[in-house]
Structure 1
Amino acid sequence: MSANRTHRSITGSTRRPELMLVLGSSLTVVSIIAIVTFLLIREHANAMQAATRGATNIVQLIDADVLRNVELYDLSLQGLIAAAQRDDLQQVSAQIRHLVLFDRASTARFKGDVLLLDKHGEVIADSSLIQPKPGNFSDRDYFQAHVTHRDTGMFISRPFKSRCDCADSDQWRISFSRRISSPTGEFLGVAAASMRLAYFDELFSSLNIGTDSTLNVLDKDGILLAQKPMLTDDSIGKSFGSRPNVIRILHEGSGSFVSVSSMDHQDRLYTFSRVGNLPLTVSVALSMDELFASWKRTAYVISGATGVLCIGLMWLTLQLCRELRLRRHAEQELAEQAAIDALTGVANRRTLDQALNREWSRAQRSGKPLSVLMIDADHFKSFNDRHGHQGGDDALRVLARVISENIRRPSDLAARYGGEEFSVVLAETDTFGALQIAENIRAAVEQLPPFEGDESPITVSIGLSTSTGQPGESLENLMYAADKALYQAKHRGRNRVVSAQE
């Protein structure tokens, strides 16, 4: 009993540094993961910002180029209208009249036909021919727009293909047009200039947006004018105005957002801007997979390295904890060996002295009694002579077991005092209680079966002393009184209990 209590005391008082080590390593791992995660998230945000800035620059570059070229077309139209309204051109030759009408149109890039139409849509003048071919364009959307609205300004048509039998008749075009009105506002005709959409192909070819991203030019109704690369062969001239992403682009005018493409169902970063005051919108749709490909590779490498580092750290921590546990167990065994008598298994003299000092101080503070038993085996020298040292050791172990079995409280302590003598410390126990415990020990020893070769069992003599908390008492006097009571028990015939308070 006392040996187990001593073991619990040693174990309970031993610090568990491996728990602190595991906790510290776990916090370190969590901190490393948190820091790496924060850095990766920040790099992800930086990559997004860089991609948005790059896409915005591309959009602005396209906007500037398109706006500059459209302004050239508009200048050509305004010059054509101004020249057509001059009365003096009717008296000059056809060559001079053609030169005056179309002198500005020759500078426009990817210029198609520049036409002057009367109020019925008939061709009055053609930039490609001095004598224009007969033709009627009243069914074109731009002509109908100017007939219906006098304040349309410059109108940009939907994509169309030329009606002529020329070599480039299969190329898509758009037309820029302006209304010709009389001083009173009467509709007189339309000036129209076409531009081949190959212009956008050349413009886009100089821009590197990756292999899985797209550039798009849309009109105000969501009709596709140009695209790189072409996702489908019939995309040009097709309306995408009902697509959610296009609706948002046309509604907001400019900005950026991330969404899923309705055409290839990929996540894309859409960056878009309206071209000046024109009914045109340029958008760049960058592939998110392509955009973050480099970041993902970096994230995989860093995450893998971090994982290996954290796993290695925890493995080393567990190995160190194992070594610490082994060391602690070894220290506990050494502590137990230092605190417990090796022969009998009860506390040794050193532990007894520590317990006595501790309980004496506690008794002095609380004013409660403290009792000490001194127990000695009777005639042990002759017993040892008859049975030898091995028999004597066996007898001491039996006595230690019996003594330990008869003290019940965790605070009580049984110890080997020296030789065949034992001591019991009974905290908060008065003389009456100590006498009962002592008598129980004496009777239990007397009831043991005799050792082989002996007719009578081994017996013990017990002396006890109790501190009553009176002034002038000391631990030395308490132990001296118990030892003196033991001597009296021996003197009175042994196998008995004597109290120093008798």
Structure 2
Amino acid sequence: MTPSRTAHFQGPPGRPEIMVIFGSTLTVISILCIVTFLLIREHANAQQTATRSATTIAQLIDADVLRTVELYDMTLQGLIAAAQRDDLKQVSPQIRHLVLFDRSTTARYKGDILLLDKHGDVLADSSLIEPKPGNFADRDYFLAHAFNRDAGMFISRPFKPRCDCDDSDEWRVSFSRRISSPTGEFLGVAVASMRMSYFDQLFNSLDIGTGSTLAIINDDGVLLAQKPHREENSIGKSFSNRPNVIRMLQERSGTFESVSSVDHQRRLYTFTRVGNLPLTVIVALSIEEVFATWNRTAYVISGATGVLCIGLLWLTWLLCRELRLRQYAEQELAQLAATDALTGVANRRSLDQALRHEWFRAQRSGKPLSLLMIDADHFKAFNDRHGHQAGDEALRALAEVINTNVHRTTDLVARYGGEEFSVVLAETDSEGAKQIAEKIREGVQKLPLVDAGEPPMSVSIGIATWTASSDINLEQLLFSADKALYQAKDGGRNRVVCAS
């Protein structure tokens, strides 16, 4: 019997490698999910840490700016209170100057402190006992107080002083308050200017990295200070049309991640309002620096995880290959155990199993079952005349002829013993079995196994068929086929006989 025919009578081949592949795949997926979850969590932690750090920096700037502005506000309030005293008009200019500006010494990075009348003319100057003539009616702070009695303390846009002094190129910002009569009439403005180097000193004391920025803007989106400067002449410039600035002015405080419209770098923006002042502190940390440590860790962990997963899959492949080879070896051993080594057809053990299987199947279906017993005629004489090797070749040729004429995979060709063969024909009646037997007999006669002048090789065939109307068992079926074979032998050989 050929190997393909014995597979029908074996159970389906086991595939343990499928379980190994499934387990390994599940393990790899689990590892990847766990590592991904941990990396995502660490990414969030890195962002939270950066946000806390930026918030701390913003709060430090907020506190320092608020304290400085309060000092300037105290100076302005003291100047206004002193200017409204009537007794100062009778004192000397030196004493009057000392009383007006006695609080100005506490202000840091102070510039000029001026007292202006309702027309914008200078009434008093902190730097001179006798002030220089000047008019500041066109300044934004003067206009704000002149037309709004409830302006409170006003913070101006950055400007450069008009004087020809040494620091005339240095940017300044002024803090001012309105001077009003008891009836609310506008009498003038008290204004104190502060050099913008204050913000440079404040920002330089904070380390935010190379790719990050610090900035302060007012409620109009005008930039008051920045570290480092990303654009030339950016101080005093309005950024109110930039998307990030618009969001900050609307939300007043918070954190978000966005791309800078100036240098197109992605940053983590943390911003907060300075108390009740119209100022907003902005801390923009570089995303590249925020996640620099996380990126290095992610590369190392991802690489190690990748090597681990690849190694696991490689070991899985090796194990599956070994399991497959073992399975093939087991199938080969099972095939060898079910196959006759000389002829390649099924052996006696496979015949018994197949015949019993088909017998019970026929009992259930009621369809006929036929059994052929085939024996080579005068084989002992042939073997003695031509030798055992030629006899073996004759048996292999005989098995090939039988196999050639038995086409269905459900049928079985087996070596019964010696020079005798059996054929199990499922769902085949006596007439069909006889036709197959005659083809086998005729095919054997055509085998070129003998020398010229010798009679051709032949076989005798006995047939037994079970039908639903038969009252015999399996042993009787075998006996009937064997008896029909001996009847063919006794009848002159080279013939087919059907059992009654």
What TM-score results when the alignment is normalised by the length of structure 1?
0.94
Deviation at 1:377, TM superposition (A): 0.6
Deviation at 1:289, TM superposition (A): 1.3
8 Å Cα contact 1:450-1:456 kept in structure 2? no
Q: Paired residue for 1:163?
A: 162
Q: Paired residue for 1:359?
A: 358
Q: Paired residue for 2:213?
A: 214
Q: Paired residue for 1:14?
A: 13
Structure 1 segments unaligned to the other structure (5+ residues): none
1:306–1:454: structure 2 CA closer, same or farther, 3 Å change rule? Answer: farther
Judge which range, 96-105 or 206-215, deviates more: 96-105
CA distance in 2, matches of 1:76, 1:490: 139
8 Å Cα contact 2:6-2:346 kept in structure 1? no
2:298 maps to 1:289? no
Q: Paired residue for 1:260?
A: 259
2:275 maps to 1:303? no
CA RMSD of aligned residues (A): 2.1
CA distance in 2, matches of 1:11, 1:162: 103
CA distance in 1, matches of 2:323, 2:297: 38
8 Å Cα contact 1:370-1:468 kept in structure 2? yes
Matched residues, number:
500
Deviation at 1:449, TM superposition (A): 3.5
Q: How does 1:207-286 map to 2 (within 5 A)?
A: 207-286=206-285
Q: Paired residue for 2:172?
A: 173
Q: Paired residue for 1:496?
A: 495
Deviation at 1:280, TM superposition (A): 1.0
1:399 maps to amino acid: L
Deviation at 1:284, TM superposition (A): 1.1
What TM-score results when the alignment is normalised by the length of structure 2?
0.94
1:11–1:317: structure 2 CA closer, same or farther, 3 Å change rule? Answer: farther
2:454 maps to 1:455? yes
CA distance in 2, matches of 1:310, 1:11: 37
1:52–1:10: structure 2 CA closer, same or farther, 3 Å change rule? Answer: farther
2:63 maps to 1:68? no
1:70–1:10: structure 2 CA closer, same or farther, 3 Å change rule? Answer: farther
Deviation at 1:67, TM superposition (A): 1.7
Judge which range, 132-141 or 210-219, deviates more: 132-141
Q: How does 1:412-423 map to 2 (within 5 A)?
A: 412-423=411-422
CA distance in 1, matches of 2:40, 2:492: 90
Q: Deviations over 1:418-451 (max 9, x none)?
A: 1000011111222222222222212222233451
CA distance in 1, matches of 2:268, 2:237: 22
8 Å Cα contact 2:5-2:409 kept in structure 1? no
Secondary structure in structure 2 of the residue aligned to 1:67: helix
Same amino acid, percent of matched pairs = 72
Q: Paired residue for 2:333?
A: 334
8 Å Cα contact 1:463-1:487 kept in structure 2? yes
Deviation at 1:373, TM superposition (A): 1.0
CA distance in 2, matches of 1:157, 1:246: 19
Q: How does 1:333-482 map to 2 (within 5 A)?
A: 333-452=332-451, 455-469=454-468, 473-482=472-481
CA distance in 2, matches of 1:114, 1:10: 110
Judge which range, 65-74 or 316-325, deviates more: 316-325
1:7–1:471: structure 2 CA closer, same or farther, 3 Å change rule? Answer: closer
Q: Paired residue for 1:125?
A: 124
Deviation at 1:471, TM superposition (A): 8.2
Q: Deviations over 1:434-477 (max 9, x none)?
A: 22222221222223345125521111111121222468633222
8 Å Cα contact 1:10-1:336 kept in structure 2? no
CA distance in 1, matches of 2:30, 2:360: 48
1:10–1:49: structure 2 CA closer, same or farther, 3 Å change rule? Answer: farther
Secondary structure in structure 2 of the residue aligned to 1:299: helix
Deviation at 1:11, TM superposition (A): 8.5
Deviation at 1:411, TM superposition (A): 0.3
